[in-house]
Chains A and B, each alone.
Chain A
């Protein structure tokens, strides 16, 4: 009963925190809301007329939505990079960052689910996928595995920080015996969400571009590069605009993680390129399309080469201690890496899987305005959710927000 009361108070307090702030904050939220509204309008057109308003066709049947979904699963998985040392290895440095990381994971997961729903042809019958009410093709379909692990991960990433914040809100210490098992579980879980998402593509014998054993590990490597890179950028922003203290040491530790992951990712990329181009087979055509174009169709060329050069440049910058320890350079490298992996693990991975088609036909894919509108709208929603979560968490952690018995 008392807990309920406290919870009610917390909701009211956090609503208060969310709706009040500086001019910049209000402007930021208003901008996000506007973009979200535009996205919703685009989505309503898509609902009305069907997916024909997107650039997708029977040839390239997954596009921007699934690309972003794939990438964001990686971002969500990256929260584990912070959870593991903090909770399990008791590395104190990460403690402040971990709540932010988990908030980021929640936002990324919500975006993932939104992208999947946006991609559905029949969102009104999505209840068919709810276990118990509908028919859940478990364990045969990797998509059902993905639904389970994503929702499970979402649950973990909401409950653990919530428990900690809830205790802190009351001015109590959070009990290790409660959250540590959950944290350990979430470590395995994070690897699972990304591996399962990779298996979603890896398990299709119809698409040789995806059907290779390196896909899963490469997903992990790139996720552990892109996710923490985003966290570094977000922490830098938070450090600048709020009272939340984040030590340089923390950022440097995370940067180390990014560096190692980016290096491994690059090694795997080289291995993949070697396999595709040293002894090219019929199955290398998708890779040829991606990197060099096929039969004069070259839509992805500028994207992938931008991504590769950004990726290589960022990895080189990060590798040198001097450069990495200079924060301005670090943030720049993180930004490069994030964008590069967004391209590479997004449509650089999804679209070539469909080109050429099963019978060698090449039809290119260009997203339409509506599709881009929906995509940006969902990104804005993610940013919106994250801002709310982070703002509340920061206020609690800095002690500004505390439960007062009688107000």
Chain B
């Protein structure tokens, strides 16, 4: 398979590793993950990281992480914020940062923790603040594990509105999408969190979710059944966003409904408000084995979460904003999943909306999901 640089022409796409060496099993570009054992022809690990850092922080890259952390300018408002908040709950962080035994690294770690604890809401940050927090998180991960991740803070692009279409006559229930999603988005392995559910429906009973099985394990496609996938539908009028008391979740300009994991207080009101079961909560500390961590991350996307916060499908913001298809779309062997820019009149998603008989779930609720279903 690795004879040329054009690879995915494997005829049998059912097996997921045949996509070729330009993308590895997890669907990332070369060097994006660590699964390439042989020396890569294009970019080494460091070069890749440099390039990624270059792209994300530009001229600031010549300062090291330490400088970046300490050079953060403090406005009066943020200073006040930090001061007040620190009075409320900072004892733990103070403890560590004041320890005489602490070395430079642990001091830096404590400094980062401190600033992370009292930073503002990502939604209201300007680009510099976004970069600063992303750099802190990257540095923090480096200090803790010795490994380097790349994290982006790419904003929504003008003239882009993401939309999704799901072909219920094509889906065969293989669940490759679920697998790809879990690997791409660093979801908790212990609780087996999944953003996507595939419902196995019986023919002739309509969309009977009550009787559908979303956790089948038998050879698929099963006789007399069809399959319907659900995930976050990125509603244009999202009830979850309205109810959040702290604006920790919001709709970005490109239509993605995202969460600032660090701002979320974990009240789960959004979960109660979502009619589509699109949201997941970290009931305990999420754990992903170090070797399985997807290191190509976005602040609003697949970066590592903590316990007690909400998370959900982001249409793989780390991929989609870079121009790639979400992991589920890429992994689907049957082409049942179609993703694209709703504002581009020539996009495939627009063609589907204009030419196929599309429908959405629970349209009567007025949530305006940007996730359509259609049949051949």
Contact = CB atoms under 8 A, between A and B. Distances in A.
Contact of B268 (A62, A207, A358, A359): A62
Contacts of B263: 125, 128, 135
A111 B85 CA distance: 24
A26 to B, nearest CB: 33
B245 A120 contact: no
A171 interface: no
B264 A358 contact: no
B69 interface: no
Given A121-B307, A133-B81, A357-B277, A128 B271 contact: no
Given A119-B267, A121-B282, A359-B199, A204 B214 contact: no
Interface string B178-192: 000000000000010
Interface in A330-344: none
Q: Counting chain B CB atoms within 10 Å of each CB, which of A61, A116, A136 scores highest? A: A61
B85 A204 contact: no
B266 A206 contact: no
Interface in B262-289: 262-269, 271-277, 280-285
Interface stretch (B161-169, B236-244, B329-337): B236-244
A127 interface: yes
Given A50-B307, A50-B308, A354 B272 contact: yes
B344 to A, nearest CB: 31
A62 to B, nearest CB: 6
B239 A205 contact: yes
Contacts of A56: 283
Contacts of A281: none
A34 B242 CA distance: 41
Contacts of B265: 120-122, 125-126, 128-129
Given A50-B307, A128-B248, A137-B244, A360 B210 contact: yes
B283 A122 contact: no
Q: Counting chain B CB atoms within 10 Å of each CB, which of A56, A125, A201, A361 scores highest? A: A125
Interface in B234-259: 239, 242-248
Range of interface residues on chain B?
35 or more
A57 B282 CA distance: 10
Given A127-B85, A136-B245, A359-B277, A50 B267 contact: no
A67 B239 CA distance: 22
Interface in A114-150: 116, 119-122, 124-129, 133-137, 140-144, 147
Given A128-B121, A128-B246, A135-B246, A206 B239 contact: yes
A386 B284 CA distance: 35
Contacts of B272: 61-62, 201, 204, 206-207, 353-354
A356 interface: yes
Q: Counting chain A CB atoms within 10 Å of each CB, which of B211, B245, B271 scores highest? A: B245
Given A128-B265, A143-B243, A207-B272, A356 B307 contact: no
A62 B273 CA distance: 12
A196 B346 CA distance: 47
Contact of A359 (B212, B273, B308): B212
Contacts of A121: 264-268, 281-282, 307-310
Contact of B210 (A127, A353, A356): A356
Contacts of A361: 214
A58 interface: yes
Given A50-B282, A61-B271, A121-B265, A204 B209 contact: no
Contact of A143 (B123, B267, B274): B267
Nearest to A207: B272
A254 B48 CA distance: 75
Contacts of A359: 197, 199, 209-210, 212, 214, 230, 277
B89 interface: yes
B89 A58 contact: no
A361 B211 CA distance: 8
A201 B276 CA distance: 17
Given A121-B282, A359-B197, A141 B274 contact: no
Contacts of A143: 243, 245, 267, 269
A206 B365 contact: yes
A201 to B, nearest CB: 8
Given A135-B124, A358-B276, A141 B245 contact: yes
Interface in A59-83: 61-62
Interface string B84-101: 110011000000000000
Q: Counting chain A CB atoms within 10 Å of each CB, which of B211, B239, B242, B308 scores highest? A: B308
B366 interface: yes
A177 interface: no
10 contacts: A49-B284, A56-B283, A120-B308, A122-B266, A125-B263, A133-B81, A140-B243, A143-B267, A203-B243, A206-B239
Interface of B: 81, 84-85, 88-89, 117, 120-121, 123-124, 191, 197, 199, 209-212, 214, 230, 239, 242-248, 262-269, 271-277, 280-285, 306-310, 365-367
